[in-house]
Chains A and B, each alone.
Chain A
């Protein structure tokens, strides 16, 4: 019922077309029923030795009927399959737009593959349910009723006897469809296992090859694969009985009609033409009989697919954007954390605790700490992927909830260690559809990317492939920097953004940024202490808390954790400064 409520508007938009389609279908079916009758008339008239003119009349009558039939058939195909495609189009657009509004907390619980499968496979099932399902249902019900009606009219007694085996089909359907569904599910689940195995294998391929595990993995894979065969054949055994049984039952009906009908003709209670027509109608029944089961199947699939799509539609983001105010939101460069605490959904321990921090506009904050100490979580709070569990976060003296997401995120340039690039050109990745008047070349220079771009065959218009595969790690990081800088953001977050660059390049880029964006509030997260040395303030994080803060010099004087980190600073990092 819920499904119906959600999907009905999409269907009702094309009500007119669908009604037209159903009408065309009924006309087609009616004309189809006329054909066996015509054949009956023809056969009954033959023994009277008709003239060739009469024979020609029959031929033309047949062609005339068929001509209408062809038009009708064209009509229902266009007006039933067409709208179902358009409905799919509408739903998919709506789904895409809804997906982009959902927040991190939701995505964290999903697998991309699963969402993809809902947007493709499940949507296809819905389309087939709407297009094919309705079609077959209407077709089957109409044809069964009318064909059986015609048969009864010809010979009621014979009809009853001939149709006696048919309920077996319905019975079979209820049993088989359920059982096949169950077995089919086992196959699907096993396929997911195989996918998982392949995925893990490819993700860990470097380790597997280093430890020469190829043969072993092949063996494991073969075992999994073998099991898959078994499960598939399990389904096949069911299907193997199912389809032939249907054919068999229909065959028995045809046999009865031939046998008992033949006797009736001999006994004189039925003409030969009627006998042939009776057989013709019986033949018309075979497809709708199977069709009913097919509808059952489509409905079952369609319903569960609808539920799965509905789950996405009913998901709502917890992060709700403030409505854009009068536009006087003002500058966001002043940042203040007030006793902020944050836990990830379903996490036992908070990831950020008692964060009190002020970053005045235009200043630079360095953030250091071991992996997992909460540096990235802290910085990303500004982008409002999550709301704080307790405490507050203000920008430009306003809580984030009062700033529209568009304004907020538009004011922040965030550069991560492993940036996500789109499979377009370098230029498009930097501009990201934010206007054509942007000075890409200048930004490319600031980001230290000029030399690299010059080496590409098509310069800035070089396509970089899926996720930017054709770029090196350092190039990706600099493209990400350029796309963050190009709008001259009020707040810039560099989240270990130069980890793949050597320290000379890093220094040069940091210098460029300082020269160009002296009004920008900057947060620098780095494992390389050289990157934060010149920051106005440095905080040291551990287990979600700020455990030390101050300038580089003052922190060293304290001889606490920061001094220790510097001391313990790995050799290679020191090398970078040294060599």
Chain B
């Protein structure tokens, strides 16, 4: 049977959703008052009918009829105005709440660290921001309102009936326990079917999505038949619950008719009897019959709305789950805005793991003075990119400390920190918009001249000028139509435009033509000029320009020091250079590897 903790959880969820209405409190109250007005006005019809029958038809009063007709028209007009206002107001509130909620979810996503994005597929996050918020809005505007209006109608009808004849009302009320019992039976089962159904629908959709996204794989491995069987199974499970829901509704909805007719039957029998004894007027009986027919409409309506509300509950649960994910990398001390970096960096016994004790960086220590350049070399998986991620505080380190100008990284406002470090990643992400937008990013103050001179400095001006629309060239999602070398140049311009104190560059490995290669090299020269810079180096030429060298292996420092010193020590770095130089001079001799 119904689970208490489930009920409690839904109530808590519901209260949280309602809390978003609070900023619009007075509007909500007004909307509810309007709704109350509409519900009451809608009850006027049968009452006016009663007046017509008992007060005018009986005494053949034509004048009185005209008055009632006029009154009716006035009621209709008032109801029209109220309904319009209420409708508009509620939609307005719903939209505002949706705006708030969507902005909040969006902003909250931006507070997450990279490890969150590593774990969560993009599609899932989009669903939270877009679809789930939409569903919740539907509940707020149509679901909630209908509940109120149905409730008002129920209470209103009950009150009018009591006023008209309390004895008849009480007799009619004997139907209610039956109705409550039936409703409960229905609700418990329907909820169960709906819940299971929703789980199947989710499963079905993810299976479909998976097969569409991975259709190449499905076809390469001849999985069409097997996957269709799986899909049919899941689909069949859903159909089963669908049909269960249909059956519950098919039983419950007509049962309401039965109850309502029972009530009308009582009016026939008990009310008719009292009329015979002159204890009740004919108009009252007619009004009762009409009210009873209206009375059961909201009950049916509430059952229909049950579905919407159940779905919205699931959506709100998912939204709150996201909002309840604590902000990662919070600034512990009150942020000190205005941290001006000079450019000294020090790693002190830094340990870092993405998860558990699986350390990627082990006891890393090194330091750079202002304006120095450091080249990091190491094999794939040696921790180069991780080191950079820790430096920009995309993740928090577990042990040790990172200091900027002697200040611990946790004491620096992370936004200030990142603002002064320009990170150039290997895989350049281009946003939709034109070239200029992609260089200036959010900085609207940056003028066209400035953008061009920046591009000139990092040697990207040439290729941009060769594009059909130059700086106004629109880039589609993913930046099609621009080569990887050109993207790299564009990312240099983007980095320089942010005028950083420090530069971090993950040098691209992809081969480019010699001309682009030359441009990239000169771009790097310009970027690093006068700035503390850390470059993950893939080219010998880069190594030869760096002041310091750090050799990483399996997350540990193999060698670190000034380039000149390392060369004199004749260690790993020296051998590496030798081998590279040799292979450049005499490629064939190095053939054996």
The answer to whether B84 and A241 have CB atoms under 8 Å apart is yes
* Distance to closest chain A CB from B321 (angstroms): 16
The answer to whether B254 and A74 have CB atoms under 8 Å apart is yes
Q: Give the A interface residue count (CB, 8 A).
A: 158
Residue interface mask B69-94, A partner, CB < 8 A = 1: 10011011101100110011001100
Could you say which residues of chain B place their CB within 8 Å of the CB of A120? 205
Using known A-B contacts A467-B121, A503-B379, determine if residue A39 contacts B254 with beta carbons closer than 8 Å: no
Q: Is A116 an interface residue (CB 8 A)?
A: yes
Residue interface mask A502-543, B partner, CB < 8 A = 1: 110000000000000000000000010010010000000000
Q: Is B96 an interface residue (CB 8 A)?
A: yes
The answer to whether A206 and B510 have CB atoms under 8 Å apart is no
Could you say which residues of chain B place their CB within 8 Å of the CB of A73? 250, 253-254, 257
Q: Is A1 an interface residue (CB 8 A)?
A: no
Q: Could you say which of A42-50, A151-159, A178-186, A387-395 contacts chain B?
A: A42-50
Q: Is B539 an interface residue (CB 8 A)?
A: yes
The answer to whether A258 and B68 have CB atoms under 8 Å apart is yes
The answer to whether B257 and A204 have CB atoms under 8 Å apart is no
**Contact with A566, one of B96, B125, B220, B583 (Cβ below 8 angstroms):** B583
In the assembled complex, the Cα of A58 lies from the Cα of B272 at a distance in Å of 10
In the assembled complex, the Cα of A59 lies from the Cα of B91 at a distance in Å of 45
**Contact with B119, one of A50, A262, A469, A557 (Cβ below 8 angstroms):** A469
Q: Is B469 an interface residue (CB 8 A)?
A: no
**Contact with A432, one of B87, B223, B423 (Cβ below 8 angstroms):** B223
In the assembled complex, the Cα of A255 lies from the Cα of B44 at a distance in Å of 11
**Contact with B79, one of A222, A244, A414, A570 (Cβ below 8 angstroms):** A244
Q: Could you say which of A63-71, A303-311, A322-330 contacts chain B?
A: A63-71
**Contact with A272, one of B53, B87, B419, B540 (Cβ below 8 angstroms):** B53
B421 nearest in chain A by CB position: A210
The answer to whether A116 and B212 have CB atoms under 8 Å apart is yes
Q: Could you say which of B170-178, B258-266, B446-454 contacts chain A?
A: B258-266
Q: Give the B interface residue count (CB, 8 A).
A: 157
Could you say which residues of chain A place their CB within 8 Å of the CB of B80? 244-245, 247-248
Q: Is A283 an interface residue (CB 8 A)?
A: yes
Q: Is B306 an interface residue (CB 8 A)?
A: no
Could you say which residues of chain A place their CB within 8 Å of the CB of B257? 66, 69-70, 73
**Interface positions of A from 175 to 206, Cβ below 8 Å from B:** 191, 194-196, 198-206
Q: Is B57 an interface residue (CB 8 A)?
A: yes
Q: Is A454 an interface residue (CB 8 A)?
A: no
Residue interface mask B412-428, A partner, CB < 8 A = 1: 00010011011101000
Q: Could you say which of B397-405, B519-527, B571-579 contacts chain A?
A: B571-579
Q: Is B60 an interface residue (CB 8 A)?
A: yes
**Contact with A211, one of B87, B215, B222, B441 (Cβ below 8 angstroms):** B441
The answer to whether B442 and A213 have CB atoms under 8 Å apart is yes
* Distance to closest chain A CB from B85 (angstroms): 8
* Distance to closest chain B CB from A535 (angstroms): 14
Q: Is A164 an interface residue (CB 8 A)?
A: no
The answer to whether B222 and A96 have CB atoms under 8 Å apart is no
Q: Is B162 an interface residue (CB 8 A)?
A: no
The answer to whether B228 and A210 have CB atoms under 8 Å apart is no
**Contact with A221, one of B106, B120, B221, B246 (Cβ below 8 angstroms):** B106
**Contact with B265, one of A63, A200, A203, A412 (Cβ below 8 angstroms):** A63
Q: Is B538 an interface residue (CB 8 A)?
A: yes
A84 nearest in chain B by CB position: B246
Residue interface mask B534-549, A partner, CB < 8 A = 1: 0001111011000000
Could you say which residues of chain B place their CB within 8 Å of the CB of A55? 268-269, 272-273, 276
The answer to whether A52 and B273 have CB atoms under 8 Å apart is yes
A570 nearest in chain B by CB position: B538
Using known A-B contacts A77-B246, A206-B425, A557-B588, determine if residue A213 contacts B477 with beta carbons closer than 8 Å: no
Residue interface mask B268-284, A partner, CB < 8 A = 1: 11001101100000100
* Distance to closest chain B CB from A382 (angstroms): 10
**Interface positions of B from 441 to 489, Cβ below 8 Å from A:** 441-442, 477, 483-484
In the assembled complex, the Cα of A71 lies from the Cα of B251 at a distance in Å of 9
Interface centre among A100, A116, A405 (most CB of B within 10 A): A100
The answer to whether B222 and A218 have CB atoms under 8 Å apart is no
**Contact with A466, one of B206, B483, B538, B590 (Cβ below 8 angstroms):** B206
The answer to whether B268 and A62 have CB atoms under 8 Å apart is yes
B116 nearest in chain A by CB position: A205
**Interface positions of B from 355 to 396, Cβ below 8 Å from A:** 377-382, 392, 394
The answer to whether B224 and A255 have CB atoms under 8 Å apart is no
**Contact with B226, one of A49, A433, A570 (Cβ below 8 angstroms):** A433
* Distance to closest chain B CB from A108 (angstroms): 11
Q: Is A3 an interface residue (CB 8 A)?
A: no
Could you say which residues of chain A place their CB within 8 Å of the CB of B382? 579
* Distance to closest chain B CB from A422 (angstroms): 6
In the assembled complex, the Cα of A100 lies from the Cα of B220 at a distance in Å of 11
The answer to whether B276 and A63 have CB atoms under 8 Å apart is no
* Distance to closest chain A CB from B174 (angstroms): 14
Q: Could you say which of A86-94, A136-144, A291-299 contacts chain B?
A: A86-94
Could you say which residues of chain A place their CB within 8 Å of the CB of B542? 571
The answer to whether B276 and A579 have CB atoms under 8 Å apart is no
**Contact with A81, one of B246, B275, B477 (Cβ below 8 angstroms):** B246
* Distance to closest chain A CB from B337 (angstroms): 12
Could you say which residues of chain A place their CB within 8 Å of the CB of B243? 82, 85-86
B46 nearest in chain A by CB position: A279
**Contact with B99, one of A225, A258, A559 (Cβ below 8 angstroms):** A225
The answer to whether A43 and B129 have CB atoms under 8 Å apart is no
In the assembled complex, the Cα of A525 lies from the Cα of B87 at a distance in Å of 63
The answer to whether B558 and A209 have CB atoms under 8 Å apart is no
Q: Is B209 an interface residue (CB 8 A)?
A: yes
The answer to whether B215 and A100 have CB atoms under 8 Å apart is yes
Q: Is A370 an interface residue (CB 8 A)?
A: yes
The answer to whether A66 and B593 have CB atoms under 8 Å apart is no
Could you say which residues of chain B place their CB within 8 Å of the CB of A574? 576, 579-580, 583
**Interface positions of A from 207 to 229, Cβ below 8 Å from B:** 207-218, 221-222, 225-226, 228-229
**Interface positions of A from 249 to 274, Cβ below 8 Å from B:** 251-252, 254-255, 258-259, 262-263, 265-266, 272
**Contact with A502, one of B53, B379, B539 (Cβ below 8 angstroms):** B379
**Contact with B88, one of A93, A208, A236, A410 (Cβ below 8 angstroms):** A236
B508 nearest in chain A by CB position: A570
Q: Is A290 an interface residue (CB 8 A)?
A: no
The answer to whether A70 and B254 have CB atoms under 8 Å apart is yes
Could you say which residues of chain B place their CB within 8 Å of the CB of A67? 258
The answer to whether A232 and B95 have CB atoms under 8 Å apart is yes
**Interface positions of A from 480 to 508, Cβ below 8 Å from B:** 483, 499-503
Using known A-B contacts A66-B261, A200-B432, A262-B56, determine if residue A432 contacts B130 with beta carbons closer than 8 Å: no
Could you say which residues of chain A place their CB within 8 Å of the CB of B224? 97, 100-101
Q: Is A314 an interface residue (CB 8 A)?
A: no
Using known A-B contacts A120-B205, A279-B49, determine if residue A229 contacts B95 with beta carbons closer than 8 Å: yes
**Interface positions of B from 233 to 255, Cβ below 8 Å from A:** 235-236, 238-239, 242-243, 246-247, 249-251, 253-255
Could you say which residues of chain B place their CB within 8 Å of the CB of A499? 380
**Contact with A576, one of B68, B379, B429 (Cβ below 8 angstroms):** B379
In the assembled complex, the Cα of A46 lies from the Cα of B242 at a distance in Å of 48
The answer to whether A533 and B593 have CB atoms under 8 Å apart is yes
Could you say which residues of chain A place their CB within 8 Å of the CB of B210? 422-423, 466
The answer to whether B583 and A194 have CB atoms under 8 Å apart is no
The answer to whether B593 and A577 have CB atoms under 8 Å apart is yes
By Cβ-Cβ distance, the 3 closest A-B pairs, closest first, are: A216-B442, A77-B250, A259-B69
The 21 listed contacts between A and B (C-beta, < 8 Å) are A43-B286, A62-B268, A65-B261, A70-B255, A82-B243, A89-B236, A97-B224, A112-B209, A204-B431, A209-B114, A221-B103, A243-B87, A251-B75, A252-B76, A266-B61, A371-B511, A501-B380, A568-B511, A570-B539, A572-B537, A572-B538
Given contacts A89-B236, A207-B429, A412-B220, 14 further A-B pairs with CB under 8 A are A35-B261, A58-B272, A63-B262, A78-B246, A89-B238, A196-B432, A207-B425, A209-B418, A229-B99, A251-B75, A370-B512, A385-B219, A420-B213, A423-B206
